[in-house]
A = this chain, B = another copy of it.
């Protein structure tokens, strides 16, 4: 259950409600972890039960309650432990590579269409990640600001650079993938 640690990461910046976390994790492509709304709420209750986070019920209007969750000491300790521990590498399961591996079963044009579709999707992601990278380098995302607020100012630049570096990896990986797909199209047509 690694969403748990992704949630701990986000809550380290500031307390959030299930709704806010949902928006965060459903804005899929933009970030490094994704989760649907239906996973968030049960997980939050479970994490609270385990003492990793603490919920504070607030009132909005007359009847509407919302629960804002924040990290406990225990939650922060668990997060630190997790960050410093090597995680098992996920098994490879890549549908596109499988499709290209057996591309000789279909017409070259069919495979080319699949690859071009992939290229287009990667380019969308590249654009989003690049924007995010630039904003991180400028120290300009809301979450980053809130995190920096309780860190030593002399570390601010380094922290921002490290975060931006993460998104530069996403960008470079996607660019590499685009270049590869273009080469594959060449080979398809007997290049």
Identify whether the interface residues of A are mostly helix, strand, loop, or mixed.
helix
- Assess the A12–B102 pair: CB atoms within 8 A: yes
Interface bracket on A: 35 or more
- Assess the B169–A103 pair: CB atoms within 8 A: no
Copies held by the complex: 2
Q: Give the interface segment out of A16-24, A27-35, A41-49, A50-58.
A: A27-35
User: 1/0 contact trace for A91-108 toward B, CB 8 Å?
Assistant: 111111111111111110
**CB of A177 within 8 A of chain B?**
yes
Q: Which residues of B contact A184 (CB under 8 A)?
A: 162, 165
- Assess the B9–A98 pair: CB atoms within 8 A: yes
Task: Give me the 8 closest cross-chain CB pairs, A-B, nearest first.
Answer: A34-B91, A84-B110, A87-B95, A86-B117, A32-B97, A169-B180, A84-B106, A104-B159
